[in-house]
Amino acid sequence: MEISRSSTPEAPPQDLWSSILDSVSSSRSIPSKQIIVLGQPSSGKSALASALLQKSVPDEQKDDQRTDFAIGYDFADVRDEADEDTLARLSVYTVPSSNPSYTSLLSHFLPPRSSLLNTLVVIVLDWTRPWTFVEELETWLTWVETWSKGDGSRELEILREESRERLQTYLQHYTEPSADPLPATNSTLSNTILPLGPGTFTHNSAGIPIIVTCTKADLIDDGNDMVAGTSGMGSMVKGKGGEWEERTDGVMQVLRTICLKYGAALFYSTPLPANLQVLRQYALHLLFVPPAPSPAGASSTEVQAPVRNIFPFTHKPNTLDRDRIVVPAGWDSWGKIAVLRDGFDAKMWGEVWERDLDGEDGEPGAKKAYANLVPDQGSKPPPLPPFNNPTPEQAFLAKNYDENSKKSDRDPRGAFRNPQDFAGAAAGIVGPLGSSSFSLPNVERALSEMETGIGGTSTGLGDAASRRLAARPISTSASTGRPSALSALGTSSSPTGISAARSPVTPSVPGAPSPGAGGQTQHEVLQNFFQSLLLTKDRTNRSPSKPTNGAEEG
């Protein structure tokens, strides 16, 4: 029996499986959502990041002395209410401080062109340092504006316009949550868009959802009498009172006015899990805000069904409980801000905020106005010691040189500049000799003492002997070049062969005595004296020996 076969070949099965896998992948693709947590060190960013991801805070992160990374990152899956399907992948980025070396890294991890429509910014303010609120808000909000501009490409500008229209539509159609069920009719849906109130959404050109979160709000109602600086808030944490309530309400009014200009929400948070859970729900609510309706659909006569947010926010606004403040974006206005405390001018605060952003130096801005409301009570670093500016080396030496040059006794070279001042000095002084040192009696006395010490007996060398020695001619042997008297003694090895021509020449000294009576100068007297010493030494050193041959006979 033959088996019938089809003449048409079947398609390869790998193409079928590829199409099935592609369809499943496209239908079950998970969107990515990002949250950027901005704040200064030790402001509670780690606790907020863990609450947003529904993760417990590690023990090592509870210590205030922990080491922060340049960019902190963590992620978690966002599931629906039944915990069955994964709706999105939530990533949380944190920076340790506002230093540009840290904030500049976010542009590499989160380029605005690919992440602008799926990013939420949480700005963390620390209630233990309330005097820094305005300054930190200016720093972080300016950075958000710079980051959203990116490289300024045309594609990015289109995304910015789309994001701004989405946030503006959300603010215009905001309705306060109510326990009553939604009406069955679509009477609330209208093509008429209500204009935004004064001072609302005047900034934030990219329409990025922003939540300003003031952490450690549980310290505001602390009734313990703390010492200034213990908790960081100083005199603001000392229990309830008129001035205390006025300041805290004033801080809240300033924050709400600034948030209104950027279309941002304001939250006060505490370490309680219930309080942090409300913040997480609102963050997911803003991340999944539906896009704005297209202009073609708005111009049509048919009423469009609203796009439902998969994470609705059902908590009502709260501006009375200072540890659980909830001001959603789109609910607040200048009128509601003024109701909290009389005497607050929201328009004035909006103007001074513009001055700080524009860099105007003529009139005080928001920082100075806020410093009058909440003075800086933070711990100041100890002042630096005065700078010790040393005197340049050449200036120091020139000063001392001038002082020493005016005092002759301070310059050792002064003794050689005026020899007349030392005319009566002793003969042993080092330097120019006075006239008294060359007097003939002194020289004769010194010659006599030296001759006595050499010969063992006094030779009685006096004036007459000096004259005879000086008058004796000193002949020089032609063959040896030595004096004839020395040649006759045969002392060729003795160091007496110093000719008169090689004797040192004594320079003439002003004020020296004239030649003596015998017509001899002092130089000649000294020369004859030394020649006589050499002759005397030769006589005493010659030991008596037996004469030999010719010498005996002679």
Q: What are the tens digits of pLDDT across the range 30-68? A: 889 999 999 999 899 999 999 999 988 765 555 445 556
pLDDT at 204: 93
pLDDT at 384: 76
The DSSP secondary-structure symbol of 318 reads B
For 365, counting Cβ atoms within 10 Å of its Cβ (0-12 exposed, 13-18 middle, 19+ buried), the class is: buried
In the chain, which residues have pLDDT < 70? 1-15, 21-28, 58-68, 179-193, 221-242, 295-306, 362, 408, 410-444, 446-447, 450-520, 537-554
The residue to which tokens 């297209």 are assigned: 294
**Exposure on the CB side of residue 66, measured as CA atoms within 13 A:** 19
pLDDT at 14: 55
Q: What Rg value do the Cα atoms of the chain yield, rounded?
A: 55
Q: How far apart are CA 265 and CA 313, in angstroms?
A: 13
E strand map for 376-428: none
The residue to which tokens 């017509």 are assigned: 519
Reported pTM = 0.63
206 vs 11, 162, 165, 198, CA distance in Å?
A: 51, 8, 9, 19
Say if CB 429 and CB 422 are below 8 A apart: yes
Three-point CA angle 256, 343, 316, nearest 5°: 35
Q: How many residues does the chain have?
A: 554
pLDDT at 386: 81
Where do the domains of the chain lie?
Answer: 31-177+196-222+241-294+309-373
Tens digit of pLDDT for each residue in 157-212?
999 999 999 999 999 999 888 765 544 444 444 456 678 889 999 999 999 999 99
Say if CB 89 and CB 30 are below 8 A apart: yes
Q: How far apart are CA 273 and CA 270, in angstroms?
A: 8
Q: How far apart are CA 94 and CA 71, in angstroms?
A: 6
SS3 of residue 268 by DSSP = strand
Three-point CA angle 353, 355, 358, nearest 5°: 110
The pair of structure tokens assigned to 102 is 């840290």
Say if CB 343 and CB 226 are below 8 A apart: no
The pair of structure tokens assigned to 396 is 């120091």
Strand partners, 123: 38, 212
The CATH code of the domain at 31-177+196-222+241-294+309-373 is 3.40.50.300
Q: How far apart are CA 434 and CA 426, in angstroms?
A: 8
Spatial CB neighbours of 446, under 8 Å, sequence gap ≥ 6: none
pLDDT at 124: 96
pLDDT at 444: 67
Strand partners, 74: 92
240 vs 223, 224, 354, CA distance in Å?
A: 7, 10, 33
